[in-house]
Chains A and B, each alone.
Chain A
Amino acid sequence: MKKIEAIIKPFKLDDVKDALNQLGVKGMTLTEVKGYGRQKGHKEIYRGAEYVVDFIPKVKLELIVSNDQVGEIVEVIRKAALTGKIGDGKIFVLPVEEVIRVRTGETGEDAI
């Protein structure tokens, strides 16, 4: 089992969610986050005063999937989140040791 963490532009969330729903992904967790990568922050001016915005708002999606689905799901997320411009985000894939469903106590892939 793997955990996919995707950090994407907020306005692409609907597209990504719809694409994942079409694949039959059963659930996900969403967090509003801020950050920067190679994009860095940018300067803004308000009423003549300049300030630097380091952390840019993004959303982070987390989902746990079986090993054989990983490639397909990552590709779907990447396509749906793509604008081609800097700041489109990143996708991380991490190993997951165990999953337990709280209600039933099921474990492993049955609990996904």
Chain B
Amino acid sequence: MISGADTAFILVSAALVLLMTPGLAIFYAGMVRGKNVLATILQSFIMITVISLEWVYLGYSMAFGPDIGGFIGDLSFFSLNGVTSAPSAVYATTIPQNVFMIYQCMFAIITPALITGAFAERMRFGPFLIFSLAWTILVYNPVCHWVWGSGGWLAARGVLDFAGGLVVHLTSGMAALASVLVLGPRKGLGRESFMPHSLPMTLLGTGLLWFGWFGFNGGSALAANGIAATAFISTHLAGMAGMGMWLLVEWLHRKKPTTLGAASGAIAGLATVTPGAGFITPNSAIIIGIIAGFSCYLAVNLKNRIGFDDSLDVVGIHGLGGIIGTICLGLFATKTVNPSGADGLFAGNAAFLTTQVFGVAVVGAYAFLVSLILLKIIDIISGGLRVSHENEVLGLDQGAHSEKAYNM
């Protein structure tokens, strides 16, 4: 039975999630140097084309098509065959299936775009496109099926992920880790200043991401109901708590609170609450935001100590946020908030915590290994993932795209 309210809400949520990709583009672009702004923006933007195409012909069917052995969907939805305005029998049964399809498409778009922050300012455009497409097919689609697909084996084990702590943030964080290891640091790391070229841009991007996140998490209820409201509120509270906590820790540790710290803390809180958003109380959401702000701050500082050049902190914020958030769900989940969820450790069910840790280990290891292998293979067959030394110094905007962000 199709509900007009649910349909309207999910369509709007899909548009909100799409907006996160341009939001992410400028969030990242503000943090790079002035010579790599357009290249950074384009790496996110072009995912709209590459992944939407992939989603129509392969992705939706692999992730949400009829299950094969718990691991993958079959290809019977190729070219959206049979995906119509009639509701699906198993997913979001109160909205047309094509609404569910396009909503999920937006998640698939932003996930590989998130990875681009790790190899910002040094990856060639062609190999980047090949990697993103192959990664979505081999990592995103299967993991999405395991966790969210009908018959997916992790879902069958009881692993919960409300809006993408595992499917989006942990997978992209692990791919980011692999790409930093394979590509190596930017030239001049530790010798030159890599100061963000425009923090106002990054803060505006943060605002757009926060706004879009209401569609990302709220819409993941797949209906305009109280669970959507729970997720909406959790999202907001964790975002604000993450921003506050990061700033506070930074203030105490470095003597000055920074705007980049505020932006990073907000994103850390938003990412970390994502897996639990629709399963936890507002109080738990605030605690999760605080934990996120504190631990992601530590992770980003540690990165600088060990010379690990995750340019825009995808591992420290999204990877770690996905891990912490998924495990926190094992602690804080309660059926009093969402009867179709689970009870966590603090509601007396230690087994669910173990299940969540298992989910993190499986998805983390799979995403990391496949990403690493893909990058190594593409590095060889494409003639190198990295731009030439000359283009890296000149900047990717001119070197790869013959453009400049600022002509003054």
Contact = CB atoms under 8 A, between A and B. Distances in A.
Contacts of A44: 402
Contacts of B390: 9, 11
B187 interface: yes
B157 interface: no
B170 to A, nearest CB: 37
Contacts of B187: 14
A57 B395 CA distance: 12
Interface residues of A, number: 8
Interface in B371-400: 389-390, 392-394
Contact of B392 (A11, A13, A46, A57): A11
A57 B391 CA distance: 13
Nearest to B192: A14
B402 A14 contact: no
Contact of B394 (A10, A14, A46): A10
Contacts of B402: 44, 46
B403 A11 contact: no
**Which of the listed residues B188, B191, B393, B403 has the most CB atoms from chain A within 10 Å of its own CB?**
B393
Interface string A2-23: 0000000111011000000000
Contacts of B393: 10-11, 13
Contacts of A11: 389-390, 392-394
Nearest to B389: A11
A48 B389 CA distance: 28
Nearest to A18: B191
Contacts of B191: 14
Contacts of B394: 10-11, 57
A44 B399 CA distance: 13
A59 to B, nearest CB: 10
Nearest to B388: A11
Contacts of B392: 11
Contacts of B403: 46
Nearest to A45: B402
Contacts of A13: 393
Interface in B343-389: 389
Interface in A4-52: 9-11, 13-14, 44, 46
A11 B188 CA distance: 11
Contacts of A46: 402-403
A13 B392 CA distance: 13
B403 to A, nearest CB: 7
B33 to A, nearest CB: 14
Interface in A70-90: none
Nearest to A13: B393
A14 B403 CA distance: 24
A44 B188 CA distance: 29
Nearest to A17: B191
Contacts of B389: 11
A44 B401 CA distance: 12
A56 to B, nearest CB: 11
Nearest to B398: A57
A112 B392 CA distance: 34
Nearest to A44: B402
Nearest to B399: A11
A77 B2 CA distance: 74
Contacts of B188: 14
A9 B394 CA distance: 10
Contacts of A57: 394
Given A11-B389, A11-B393, A13-B393, 4 more contacts: A11-B390, A11-B392, A11-B394, A14-B188
7 interchain residue pairs of minimum CB distance: A11-B393, A11-B390, A10-B393, A11-B389, A44-B402, A46-B402, A11-B394
15 contacts: A9-B390, A10-B393, A10-B394, A11-B389, A11-B390, A11-B392, A11-B393, A11-B394, A13-B393, A14-B187, A14-B188, A14-B191, A44-B402, A46-B403, A57-B394
